[in-house]
């Protein structure tokens, strides 16, 4: 395609569209119809240029022109509390529910790895010696040692905020880095399970596994579930790149990617709850059974939220993606 000839043939239409957009508040009915027609044609022109003769300057100008026209034609939509309610009651739990075939196996395999690592470390003194010195091990595992004081080493509010930030970042990394065939996700999971396994093994070797579980279960059930959901969804996103199914690879990645970004927001809220439990419940003076009961209740509430509300929304067709009206066009509009 001769770009100069193409520009000469259609420049007048682009200039006319720009002129109509500048006085969009005072258009007549006929001019409004003309604006819509010119918007459709310009969108097609942009698609042709991008695929046949990409020119950065011209593409930038037409992209801006099409964006302005689209905003004028479709109107500007503002988020409302109704959108928030729909996201929390349908979109987010539906997305988590749809990913269950990835994050549930991820949770089972990861937990098994952590337990096996804990058993290996706890039953092999030479492994413990390679991890820490005997004096440091005693300081870590003794009553009132570092494993116990860790949760009360800072004011509860600041500690909860710090934990929430760290965990939300880890979950977001799992969701975003899944596009790299899931390899970074596996590395993040392994690091987390090594840390949990080391705690299990070292506290078991000191005969204080019950204390360790009493400290990690109140917040760890919900926290690790959120990490597993993020990791499983990240792995699913990576697999979509390999096998998009009946959809085109571009469409599949766009749909799953948008749903994953929405899940990052939802999981941040879940991790906020687990961070609050870790900051205020785990180091509290409540009996161990009461702290664990709070953690179990939070975990069961989340699972019910996903499998009841999420399952219901998924069966009605909700995928956690944005609505059709908020998606960009995937095909050029016929001129």
Q: pLDDT grade, residue 26 (50/70/90)?
A: confident
Q: Extract the tokens encoding 34.
A: 């003309």
Q: Extract the tokens encoding 99.
A: 């990913």
pLDDT of res. 76: 55
φ, ψ for residue 131, nearest 5 deg: -90, -35
Q: How far apart are CA 53 and CA 45, in angstroms?
A: 11
Q: What is the mean pLDDT of residues 40-60?
A: 81
Give the rounded percent of residues in the chain with a pLDDT score beyond 70.
92
Is it the case that residue 335 has pLDDT exceeding 70? no
Q: Residue 67 burial (CB < 10 Å; 0-12/13-18/19+)?
A: exposed
Q: How far apart are CA 156 and CA 94, in angstroms?
A: 33
Q: Which of 52-56, 141-145, 204-208, 245-249 has the lowest mean pLDDT?
A: 52-56
Q: Extract the tokens encoding 19.
A: 């002129």
Q: How far apart are CA 201 and CA 208, in angstroms?
A: 10
Per-residue pLDDT reduced to its tens digit, 79-92: 567 778 888 899 99
Cβ proximity of 67 and 46 under 8 Å: no
The residues near 258 (Cβ < 8 Å, ≥ 6 apart) are: 321, 322, 327
pTM over 0.95: no
Q: Residue 243 burial (CB < 10 Å; 0-12/13-18/19+)?
A: exposed
Q: pLDDT grade, residue 329 (50/70/90)?
A: very low
As a whole number, the mean pLDDT across the chain is: 85
Cα 304 to Cα 297, 299, 307: the distances in Å are 10, 9, 5
Per-residue pLDDT reduced to its tens digit, 236-276: 988 888 888 888 888 888 888 888 888 888 999 999 999 99
Longest dimension (CA), the chain: 85
pLDDT of res. 57: 81
Is it the case that residue 117 has pLDDT exceeding 80? yes
Chain centroid to CA 335: how far? 38
Per-residue pLDDT reduced to its tens digit, 179-216: 787 788 999 999 989 999 999 999 998 898 998 999 99
Q: How far apart are CA 44 and CA 38, in angstroms?
A: 10
């Amino acid at each position: 395609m001769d770009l100069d000839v193409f520009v000469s043939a259609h420049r007048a239409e682009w200039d006319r569209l720009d002129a109509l957009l500048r006085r969009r508040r005072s258009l007549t009915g006929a001019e409004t119809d003309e604006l819509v027609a010119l918007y459709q044609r310009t969108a097609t022109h942009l698609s042709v240029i991008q695929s046949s003769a990409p020119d950065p300057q011209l593409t930038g100008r037409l992209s801006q022109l099409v964006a302005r026209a689209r905003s004028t034609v479709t109107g500007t939509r503002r988020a409302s509390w109704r959108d928030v309610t729909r996201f929390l009651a349908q979109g987010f739990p539906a997305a988590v529910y749809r990913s269950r075939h990835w994050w549930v196996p991820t949770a089972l395999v990861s937990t098994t790895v952590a337990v096996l690592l804990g058993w290996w470390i706890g039953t092999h003194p030479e492994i413990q010696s390679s991890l820490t010195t005997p004096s440091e091990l005693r300081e870590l595992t003794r009553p009132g040692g570092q494993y116990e004081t860790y949760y009360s080493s800072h004011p509860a509010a600041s500690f909860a905020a710090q934990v929430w930030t760290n965990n939300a970042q880890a979950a977001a990394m799992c969701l975003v880095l899944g596009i790299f065939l899931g390899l970074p996700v596996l590395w993040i999971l392994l690091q987390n399970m090594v840390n949990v396994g080391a705690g299990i093994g070292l506290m078991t070797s000191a005969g204080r596994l019950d204390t360790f579980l009493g400290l990690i279960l109140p917040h760890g059930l919900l926290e690790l579930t959120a990490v597993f959901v993020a990791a499983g969804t990240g792995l699913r996103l990576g697999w979509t790149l390999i096998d998009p199914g009946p959809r085109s690879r571009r469409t599949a990645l766009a749909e799953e990617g948008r749903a994953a970004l929405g899940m990052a927001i939802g999981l941040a809220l879940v991790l906020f709850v687990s961070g609050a439990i870790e900051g205020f419940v785990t180091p509290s003076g409540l009996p161990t059974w009461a702290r664990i009961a709070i953690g179990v209740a939070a975990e069961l509430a989340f699972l019910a939220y996903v499998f009841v509300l999420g399952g219901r929304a998924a069966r009605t067709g909700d995928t956690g993606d944005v609505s059709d009206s908020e998606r960009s066009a995937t095909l050029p509009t016929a001129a």
